[in-house]
Amino acid sequence: MPTRLYSTLVSELAPSVPGCPQPTMLQYIRRAAIDACRRTLLWRYDAPATTLVAATSAYSYNPPVDAVVCAVVAALMNDTPIDVAILEDAIARYPQWTSSSGEPMVLCQVNSDQFIPLPTPDAQKPYVVKLIYALEPTSTSTGMDETAFNELDVAIVHKALQDLLVLPNVFWEDRELAAYHAKQYVARLAERRAKANLGNFRAAMSVQMRPLA
């Protein structure tokens, strides 16, 4: 996946925060990118297949470098779609599977690092899981996936300026302008969600499930 650097947005921010150091702008661009990805779940990633191991309950996600998993948005078990739920909901809905083994029927999101299939896989046959993640950048990243960034860059600019303009004890502080950018940020996120509802989301991201080997 080609990467677009956060530094490509510095020139967009600089006129509104004169004198702001570039490292500070980059810090707030990264924070804005993380927030925008969390709110929209727009950055999608078709993860490599994982073969489950009998009697093994917990598995690690496999995101690309400089990204972490926000959510699992789709899961296939041996080419068949299965439910995705947070762990607490899955335990409440399927308590009988928490202490049994068999063919996994639901994938449980534990945190940004791990997932658990329920029931725990048995040894009756191979189980291969394919996942599509929604990603967000890490807190140390210098850029993110170019396609996702291009979709969100205007929103990211508004969010970064919203936060920079309310920093205390800086001479570029402008709370009225910050309020404007806050409204624009919300509007841009709503626009992205509306496009997703109209079916443009997947087309923009061009992520497809690869056939299992």
Domain boundaries, the chain: 3-42+138-205, 44-136
Distance from C-alpha of 5 to C-alpha of 9, rounded to nearest angstrom: 8
Distance from C-alpha of 201 to C-alpha of 210, rounded to nearest angstrom: 18
Q: What is the pLDDT of residue 193?
A: 75
pTM of the model: 0.88
Residue 11: pLDDT band (50, 70, 90) is very high
Torsion of CA 13, 17, 22, 23, to 10 degrees: -100
Q: What is the CA radius of gyration of the chain?
A: 20
- The letter for the amino acid at 161 is L
Residues 6 or more apart whose Cβ sits within 8 Å of residue 87: 108, 109, 110, 116
Residue 208: pLDDT band (50, 70, 90) is very low
Residues in the chain: 213
Q: What end-to-end distance do the CA atoms of the chain give, in Å?
A: 21
What average pLDDT score do residues 119-146 get? 96
What average pLDDT score do residues 7-22 get? 97
- The letter for the amino acid at 62 is N
Residue 196: pLDDT band (50, 70, 90) is low
How many helices and strands in the chain, by DSSP H and E? 6, 13
Q: What is the pLDDT of residue 198?
A: 59
Note the pLDDT tens digit of each residue in 79-97: 999 999 998 999 898 899 8
Q: Is the pLDDT of residue 51 over 90?
A: yes
Residue 203: pLDDT band (50, 70, 90) is very low
